[in-house]
Amino acid sequence: MPPPPDVGPSRRNNLGGLELATDLTYIVATVASPTTLDTNTNNSSARLIASGKSAAIHKDLFSIYIKNWRENLLKTISSELVYHLTHIMIKLFDSHCHLQDPRIFNVAPKLIREAIDTGVIHFAVNGVSEKDWHLVKEMSDSYPCVVPNFGLHPWFISDRTGNWLNTLKKFLEATPSAAVGEIGLDKGSIGRQIDFTAQVEIFREQLQLAKKLKRPASVHCVRAFGDLLEIMKSTGPFPAGVVLHSYMGSAEMVPELSRLGAYFSFSGFLMSMKESKAKKMLKSIPPEKILLETDAPDALPKASKSDSLILIERKVSVAEELLDCGENSPSNNDNAADNTCHDESGASELPEVNLNHPANIHHVLAYTANLLEMSKEQLADVTYRNAVRLFSYEGSKLLQEA
């Protein structure tokens, strides 16, 4: 993966809030008066940027400066400034994450704010069991940027109540803006311990519900792509779309899955796939079917410098750590899921106490764009438009915004 330019120790790890404001002041002061780097300039706009907390104000003022001082900017801009500028201008859609996850729920408002500051406009937040659907709904009610998804993840089917399907239907009926997810099939190390016949039955019911309601479904699939294809063929097609999240299947399966309505979404787990295989698979995907996601708090991307990632540190007991490995890391790739907790294959060399931040979608963007031999701006634009189209079903918040 091409590492982002070295942004210097004082500005790493924080692309939002006051530190970003300070950087913008630095940029504006530099552009407005290229001979001085004095951030205590009397320029009123620069002072406003320094004191303001709204990302919208930053962006508006900065856009004016870009327009007025474009020539000077191009002459004086450094790689550090390009780095920040790129983050500000790019719009991204996190097509699959779990901001309601108990490991990060308490800091979710901060994570959302920080990710928005870097250009992430929407977050498709996926519930995983009856226990967290109300949290997803609350988050959606509080944040216009959150697209809610309700679903029963295969890892949690043994905890389901006898009334789970009715409860799910009620959540989906009461929340017209919601999609279905996370649902799926798992024959990996964790999934093997869960009755596969029951997984299939529960997955099929939720997939049919999504089809009936004409809403997209977000799907987890680990080592069960043959079963997935068979079920999608017998219950599909899915004109409302099916998100194959953190897709790790083969290039050969892409055309048939795509014809059935699949979208292919990529997270930091892509970095654990052999590069040549990932490249072949990515290039087989129709451009209108590709999406980006973080799967946060899991799927921490691999970075050449750990401090270029935005990390969520946590202090946990050994007992909680074990619980998280077994119950709270519903990631989509068996090896990568293991890496999240055991760090065996090098998908991430960071300490296990670090969780993924939704702003790290920029690392997924850079890595995927490089494999596709596209610019980050092109891929951001394509994936953003794909996600907006996919999540614009009847009742969607995206239609309300339009």
The site for Zn ion (CB under 5 A) is made up of: 182, 295
- What's the 3-state SS for 3-72? CCCCCCHHHCCCCCHHHHHHHHHHHHHHHHCCCCCCCCCCCHHHHHHHHCCCHHHHHHHHHHHHHHCHHH
Burial class (CB in 10 A: 0-12, 13-18, 19+), 178: buried
Least separation in angstroms between CB 103 and Zn ion: 13
What residues contact residue 162 under an 8 Å CB cut-off, 6+ apart?
Answer: none
Q: 107 in helix, strand or coil?
A: helix
In the complex with Zn ion, which residue's Cβ is closer, 308 or 329?
329
DSSP codes, 365-389: HHHHHHHHT--HHHHHHHHHHHHHH
In the complex with Zn ion, which residue's Cβ is closer, 186 or 295?
295
Rg (CA), the chain: 21
Least separation in angstroms between CB 256 and Zn ion: 23
Least separation in angstroms between CB 41 and Zn ion: 46
Least separation in angstroms between CB 182 and Zn ion: 5
In the complex with Zn ion, which residue's Cβ is closer, 7 or 244?
244
The count of other CB atoms within 10 Å of the CB of residue 55 is: 19
How many helical (H) and strand (E) elements, i.e. helices and strands, does the chain have? 17, 10
Burial class (CB in 10 A: 0-12, 13-18, 19+), 110: middle
Least separation in angstroms between CB 269 and Zn ion: 10
In the complex with Zn ion, which residue's Cβ is closer, 182 or 324?
182
In 3D space, the residue among 329, 267, 323 whose CA is nearest the CA of residue 293 turns out to be: 267
Q: 112 in helix, strand or coil?
A: helix
Helix (H) / strand (E) containing 225: helix 225-235
Is the CB of residue 145 less than 8 Å from the CB of residue 46?
A: no
Least separation in angstroms between CB 247 and Zn ion: 12
Least separation in angstroms between CB 161 and Zn ion: 22
In the complex with Zn ion, which residue's Cβ is closer, 46 or 228?
228
Least separation in angstroms between CB 206 and Zn ion: 14
